């Protein structure tokens, strides 16, 4: 009887241990998005957005060393990172060009923008970094191919500052992409 009481006490003491509540983060544009009538782009459409497989997890990824990463256990994305990246890029590109990029299957004659994110993480020494490619396909031919690689220092310690820095890097990427979307001469009117 005494032994059973001892085990019950130990179990209750285990259940009574402290737990850490996870934090959830969202990738969204920081720009003001007033209510307005939007027009879809005729010349360009959004194709595929590929995310490096190591990023495709719930936890934010932090680079421990050059070849070692660690996904956070308590600092998680509120949604799959693919959805966050796609939403942020389409919003900022549309904001920059004044036209919404529609899915490629809805704009058959448009030049298709394909994007690939190879790196989007933070480092222990307080930096966020990105490595991305985008290319334009017109009439089954690649007409433009670009790379964007940049790191950005965090404003403060912690994951929240890291998400802010990553958001800022993605916004820069969106601007670069928007700047490359120049209509072909025949369609420039």
Interface positions with other proteins (CB under 8 A) = 10-11, 13-20, 57-59, 62, 64, 70, 72-76, 79-80, 122-127, 153-159, 161-162
Nearer to other proteins, 147 or 155 (CB): 155
DSSP 139: T
Nearer to other proteins, 62 or 181 (CB): 62
Relative to beta strand 111-123, strand 40-51 is parallel
* Shortest Cβ 34–other proteins spacing (Å): 24
Q: Shortest CA distance to 129 belongs to which of 58, 48, 61?
A: 61
Nearer to other proteins, 84 or 174 (CB): 84
* DSSP H or E stretch at residue 145: strand 141-153
Nearer to other proteins, 8 or 145 (CB): 8
Is the alpha carbon torsion for 95, 100, 103, 109 positive or negative?
Answer: negative
DSSP 162: H
* Shortest Cβ 31–other proteins spacing (Å): 24
- Give the CA distances from residue 27 to residues 59, 65, 76, 168, in Å, rounded to whole numbers and listed in that order: 13, 24, 11, 10
* Shortest Cβ 130–other proteins spacing (Å): 15
* Shortest Cβ 165–other proteins spacing (Å): 9
Structure tokens at 5: 């009481």
* Shortest Cβ 36–other proteins spacing (Å): 21
* Shortest Cβ 124–other proteins spacing (Å): 6
- How far, in Å, CA of 172 to CA of 8, rounded? 57
Nearer to other proteins, 77 or 148 (CB): 77
- How far, in Å, CA of 139 to CA of 49, rounded? 19
Nearer to other proteins, 92 or 164 (CB): 164
Are 45 and 177 in contact by the 8 Å Cβ rule? The answer is no
């Amino acid at each position: 009887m005494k032994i059973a009481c001892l085990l019950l006490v130990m179990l209750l003491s285990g259940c009574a241990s402290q737990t850490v509540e996870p934090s959830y983060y969202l990738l969204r544009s920081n720009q003001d998005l007033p209510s307005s009538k939007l027009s879809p782009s005729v010349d360009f459409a959004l194709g595929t957005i590929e995310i490096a497989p190591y990023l495709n997890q719930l936890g934010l990824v932090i680079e421990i060393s050059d070849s070692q990463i660690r996904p956070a256990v308590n600092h998680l994305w509120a949604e799959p990172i693919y959805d966050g990246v796609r939403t942020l890029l389409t919003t900022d590109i549309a904001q920059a060009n004044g036209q919404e990029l529609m899915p490629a299957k809805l704009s058959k004659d448009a030049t298709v923008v394909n994007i690939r994110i190879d790196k989007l993480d933070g480092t222990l020494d307080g930096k966020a970094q990105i490595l991305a490619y985008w290319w334009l396909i017109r009439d089954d031919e690649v007409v433009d191919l670009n790379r964007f690689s940049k790191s950005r220092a965090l404003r403060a310690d912690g994951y929240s500052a890291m998400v802010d820095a990553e958001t800022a890097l993605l916004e820069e990427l969106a601007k670069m992409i928007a700047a490359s979307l120049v209509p072909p001469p025949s369609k420039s009117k």
